[in-house]
Amino acid sequence: MGFKVLPKSNEHEHEKAKEITKNIQSEDLVKFGFISEFIDRSPAISVLNELMEEDLCDILLNTKNALTKQYEKLLVLDGVCLIIANDVIPGIVK
């Protein structure tokens, strides 16, 4: 069970597949082979886009509850001063 991943060399087909999955309905899942009992127990169908390295860097640095900020504050409770420089985040992401 699963979906075929298109190679990146055929970018047009990849974009077409992404557009199709954005509009997926529960009837489409039944046609694909999912049993209706499984689909009935899933109240929402969500499609996720690829997460790029820049997106993850932004999440680690600029969100309200960023993990980097959480770890800095958590370690302060143990008397440790952790400073995570912005230029090391891309290395952490990779």
Query: Which residues of the chain register pLDDT less than 50?
Result: 1, 6
pLDDT (0 to 100) of residue 1: 44
CB atoms within 10 A of CB 28: 14
Our count of domains for the chain comes to 2
Quote the pTM value: 0.51
- Which pLDDT belongs to residue 4? 56
Residue type, 49: N
Are residues 19 and 46 part of one domain? yes
Q: Indicate if 44 and 29 belong to the same structural domain.
A: yes
Range of the domain at 84: 53-93
pLDDT in the model for residue 76? 94
Rounded distance, CA 65 to CA 75, Å?
15
* H/E run at residue 21: helix 11-22
pLDDT of amino acid 8: 54
